[in-house]
Structure 1
C-alpha cells in the first residue's frame, strides 16, 4: 500500500515559519506593526477619514487659523487637533501629509534598491575594473552626508526647472533626489553578499549549463541576497521620511500648499513663540512615532534574519 504525502501550501509554510514564530513572541514588534498599519491605513484612506480636504480652498477659512486642539480652551469641535496658520484642519493635513511622506519614503527606497542592487550585482559578480570603478563611485558619494547630497541635487534641480515646476512635481523630484543620495547602502551590501555567493557550487553549475551572466545574477544569486535587502529597506524607509522632512524644513521639499509631515513642521515653526505650538508639535510627534516604529521593525527583522542575534 502506497502512501501519498501532500505538500503544504505556501500560506501554511509561512504560518509555520521562524519569522511568524519570532513575531508572535515579540510584543514590541507586534505593537510597532499595529501602529505602523494604523498610520498606513490612515494615510491611504485619508480622503474618506479626513474631516476636510486641505487641497479644497472652499473648505478653508483664514478666520479659523491657529485654533487650538479640543482639549484647550477656545477650541472648535470641528477641528479636534486644531488648525494651522492657513486655517486648515490639522487632523486632515496630517492624514494627507502622512500619505505624501510614505509615498516619498517607499518610492525613494524602491529607486535606491533598483540602482544599488544592480550596481552591487555587477560589481560583485564581474569584479576587476568594473568592481573597482563602481565601488570607488559609491565611496565618493558615501564621503558626503546624505543630506548634503540631497541638498545639492535638490538645489540644482530647482535652479534648472524653476520653483513653480519644482513645486508641481515635488513628490517625484524628492523620490529622485533621496533615491540618488542613498543607493550606495544597497550596492555595498549586495556586493558583499554576491562575493560570498559567486564561488558556490550552484553558480558553477549554472555556468556549466551555459546560462548567461545576466540570468545567473538575477535568477540565481539575487534571491539568495534578499534577506539583507529587506533589512536595509526597512531602515531606509525611515531615513527617506526623515530626509524629506529635513529638506522641507530647508525649503527644498514639499511646498506648504502640498502638506507633508515635513512641510507641516516647517509651516508651524514660526508660530511657536506666538503660542500655537500644536502646528509643529503634533505633526512632529506623528513623524517621530512613524520613524520609531519603522526603525524598531527593522531592528527586529535584522535579528530574525540572523538567528544568532535573535533573543526573542
Structure 2
C-alpha cells in the first residue's frame, strides 16, 4: 500500500493565520485592552470625529444658512443658566447662531485642517527623509540644510507671509473662500522637517542591515528598495509623530484663527469660535469662548494621550503595561 507524499505533506502543513487572527493575538491589541486611558481616549475621539462627520444631520441648524440666523437671539446662555432658550442647548453666539451647531461644524473644519496638514507634512517629510538617508552625500546635506532653514521660520511667520501674498494677489474675499485649504498648505509646509529628520535617522539605521544588501545584490532599483523594503520598517515612528502632529496642527489652526490669520468668523472652526467670543467675555457671555475652548482642549488631549500610548507600545523599552 502506497501513501501519496504530496497529499500527506499538504495535510501536515499548518494553516496560515488570517490578518484578523494576527491582529487579535498582537501585542498592540493586548496592550490596548490593559490600558484604560487609551480605551477612554479612543472612545471620546471616535465620538468627536463621528459628531463632526455627521454634523449636517446632528446639528440643530446650519450655521452657513443665513436664514437660520436670528440676530435677536444673540448671546443667549446655555440651558443651565437663567434666561436660556430651550431651542438653543448650548446657547448662541454674538451673531445669533446656535453654538452647538457651530461647534459641530467648526470641529469638522479643524479636523480636516489637522489631518490634511499632517498628510501633506508626512508626504513631503517622508520623501525627503528617504532620499537624504538612503542617497546621502550632497543630497543629504542639501535636504537637511533646507530643513534647518524651514525650522527657522515659525508657522505664524509662514502664515503671515502666505496670507498677505494671497490677499494682495487675489483679494480678501477669495482668501475667505480658500482659507481652509490655505491653512492646510501653510501648516503642512511649515512642519515637514519633523518627519524628514525622523525618517532620515531610521533610514540610516535600516540601510546598513543585511536585507538591504541582499536587495542590492538582487539588482533591485533604488526606488523599490526605499519604498518597498526600507519604508515599511520606518512606519512606527511615523505613526507616533503623526498623532502628535495632528494635535499640533489643530492647535496651530486655532492660534492662527484667533490672531485673524486663519478661518474667518463666517466659516466656523474651533479657533474662529474662540476668537469670536473673546470680545464678549467681559459682558458676561463667557460661553461663546469657553465651550469651544473646552472642546478644543478635550480633542487635543485625547489625541495626545493616544499618541503617548502608541509611542510606549511601539517602543517596548518604554512600555510599562
TM interval, shorter chain, is over 0.9
Equivalent residue for 1:172?
A: 181
How do 1:67-216 residues align onto structure 2 when only pairs under 5 Å count?
Answer: 67-216=76-225
* Partner secondary structure for residue 79 of structure 1: coil
Tell me by how many angstroms 1:207 deviates.
1.2
Equivalent residue for 2:310?
A: 301
Task: Quote the Cα distance in structure 2 between the aligned partners of 1:151 and 1:17.
Answer: 46
Aligned-CA RMSD value: 1.0
Identify which range, 4-13 or 121-130, moves more after superposition.
4-13
Could you give the per-residue CA deviations for residues 172-224 of structure 1, whole angstroms, max 9, x where no partner exists?
A: 11100100000000000000000011111111111111111111111111111
* Partner secondary structure for residue 21 of structure 1: helix
Note if 1:229 corresponds to 2:258: no
Tell me by how many angstroms 1:124 deviates.
0.4
Equivalent residue for 1:25?
A: 34
Could you give the per-residue CA deviations for residues 27-73 of structure 1, whole angstroms, max 9, x where no partner exists?
A: 00011111111100000000110011111111111011000000000
Choose from 16, 23, 38 the match for 1:7.
16
Residues 151, 247 of structure 1: 8 Å contact kept:
no
TM-score normalised by the chain length of structure 2 = 0.95
Tell me by how many angstroms 1:171 deviates.
1.0
Structure label with greater radius of gyration: 2
How do 1:243-262 residues align onto structure 2 when only pairs under 5 Å count?
Answer: 243-262=252-271
Residues 155, 252 of structure 1: 8 Å contact kept:
no
Residues 117, 186 of structure 1: 8 Å contact kept:
yes
Residues 52, 92 of structure 1: 8 Å contact kept:
yes
Query: Aligned residues, how many?
Result: 312
TM-score normalised by the chain length of structure 1 = 0.98
Residues 77, 287 of structure 2: 8 Å contact kept:
yes
